[in-house]
């Protein structure tokens, strides 16, 4: 097994830069007596106002708003927004890609269209049985995206995902990781990609994954999204179904970090919704019912496919079922009812 510290040591040099301030949240629908919106008010993977308008334009075949949106993230160095927008735009392009093809035909050297083409190619390859072989053919597209804007860490997140998919060795991965850190030492997307690589490379080695995530969170400021990385490691452990044990204390500490981060965002804000949904998943598994309900109130109407897609092909349905269960458990505890058995761990499709 490769030395964990070889991948952890860059965190001691992490620059303490702040996360981009969240954009204004959309108004939330009215809540019921438990503080939660009605089931029919809950949305799955709802875009923010900026992305929503861009997707509407793309549906009309117009690429201009997407170009403007992504160019703005580069100008303002809003790398977390850039990463999220790139993922959502390419998800849309998988079924309706004429606007992206037109964009590339018009401006083939645009760093933003190069990023989307690289992400789209990785996405296509990832779902194929010939994943490793197809991903090797994607390398030139990732390289082109990285050269488009040397400051941009998102192509390096793609490179880290690519390394995992092709089974690249630890030395090559470490080189990619150092390059990503040089560009944005606190980029959450790159850290998640690194964590997933470690989980895939060291099957069932959850202690090493927690070491990586905890060290990153300790070296990051309190408002950094990296504070949610240990709870991502907890999610990986809870969905692995392996016999290797991680202490309850460590799982609780990971959840506590994410709770503190969640409290820094407004309620019913689409920006932190995925982090809050994942945190709720962890809290439910830990039977921390009241805190799970607290997070559901902060989530408001913004359900996300991750992590619920790991439980069902219908993530919205399982999210709503989970909400009802949490409400019932909190009411039961308030009435002095008995505690129930721990929720069974489920097997992750792709941690």
pLDDT digits (tens, 9 = 90+) for 166-197: 999 999 999 999 999 999 999 999 999 999 99
pTM of the shown model:
0.86
Instruction: Give the separation between CA 177 and CA 294, rounded to whole angstroms.
Output: 35
Residue 21 CA, distance from chain mean position: 18
Model pLDDT, residue 30 = 55
Residue 117, C-beta contacts closer than 8 angstroms, at least 6 positions apart: 100, 104, 141, 145
Cα distance between residue 55 and residue 165, in whole Å: 29
pLDDT at 346: 45
The pLDDT value given to residue 20: 42
pLDDT reported for residue 203: 74
Q: For 195-210, b where at least 16 C-beta lie within 10 A, e where not — what string?
A: bbbbbebbeebbbbbb
Asked if residue 333 has pLDDT above 90, the reply is no
Q: Which long-range contacts (CB under 8 A, 24 or more apart) does 89-96 make?
A: 89/51, 89/54, 89/55, 89/58, 89/116, 90/116, 90/119, 90/120, 90/123, 91/123, 92/55, 92/58, 92/59, 93/58, 93/120, 94/120, 94/123, 94/124, 96/58, 96/59
Determine the pLDDT at residue 337.
56
| Angle ∠(59,61,62) on CA atoms, nearest 5 | 105
Q: Is 336 left (phi over 0), alpha (psi -120 to 50) or beta?
A: left
Confidence at 283, pLDDT banded by 50, 70, 90: very high
Tens-place pLDDT, residues 284-318 = 999 999 999 999 999 999 999 999 999 999 999 99
* DSSP string for 182-216: HH-TT-HHHHHHHHHHHHHHSTT-HHHHHHHHHHH
- Supply 221's token pair: 């400021």
Q: What is the mean pLDDT of the chain?
A: 88
pLDDT at 21: 40
Quickly state the pLDDT bin for 119 (edges 50, 70, 90). Answer: very high
pLDDT category of residue 27 using cuts at 50, 70 and 90: low
Q: Quick one: average pLDDT of 87-92? A: 97
The pLDDT score that the predictor gives to residue 280 is 98
- Identify the residue whose tokens are 């039961």: 332
pLDDT reported for residue 24: 44
pLDDT digits (tens, 9 = 90+) for 190-247: 999 999 999 998 776 899 999 999 999 999 999 999 999 999 999 999 998 776 789 9
């Amino acid at each position: 097994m490769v030395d964990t510290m070889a991948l952890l040591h860059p965190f001691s040099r992490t620059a303490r830069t702040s996360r981009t301030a969240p954009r204004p949240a959309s108004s939330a629908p009215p809540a019921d007596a438990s503080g939660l919106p009605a089931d029919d008010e809950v949305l799955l993977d709802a875009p923010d106002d900026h992305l929503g308008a861009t997707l509407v334009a793309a549906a009309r075949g117009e690429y201009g708003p997407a170009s403007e949106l992504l160019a703005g993230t580069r100008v303002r160095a809003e790398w977390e927004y850039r990463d999220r927008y790139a993922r959502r735009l390419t998800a849309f392009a998988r079924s309706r890609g004429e606007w992206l093809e037109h964009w590339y035909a018009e401006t083939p050297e645009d760093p933003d269209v190069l990023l989307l083409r690289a992400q789209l190619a990785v996405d296509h390859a990832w779902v194929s049985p010939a994943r490793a072989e197809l991903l090797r053919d994607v390398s030139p597209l990732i390289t082109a995206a990285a050269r488009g804007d040397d400051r941009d860490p998102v192509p390096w997140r793609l490179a880290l995902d690519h390394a995992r998919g092709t089974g690249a060795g630890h030395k090559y991965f470490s080189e990619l990781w150092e390059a990503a850190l040089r560009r944005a030492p606190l980029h959450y997307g790159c850290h998640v990609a690194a964590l997933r690589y470690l989980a895939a490379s060291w099957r069932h080695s959850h202690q090493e994954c927690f070491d990586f995530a905890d060290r990153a969170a300790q070296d990051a400021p309190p408002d950094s999204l990296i504070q949610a990385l240990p709870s991502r490691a907890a999610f990986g452990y809870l969905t692995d179904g392996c016999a290797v044990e991680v202490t309850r204390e460590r799982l609780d500490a990971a959840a506590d970090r994410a709770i503190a981060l969640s409290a820094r965002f407004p309620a019913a804000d689409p920006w932190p919704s995925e982090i809050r949904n994942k945190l709720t998943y962890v809290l439910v598994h830990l039977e921390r019912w009241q805190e799970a309900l607290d997070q559901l109130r902060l989530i408001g109407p913004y359900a996300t496919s991750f992590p619920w897609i790991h439980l069902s092909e219908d993530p919205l349905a399982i999210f709503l079922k989970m909400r009802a269960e949490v409400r019932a458990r909190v009411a039961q505890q308030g009435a002095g009812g008995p505690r129930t058995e721990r929720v069974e761990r489920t097997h992750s499709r792709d941690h």
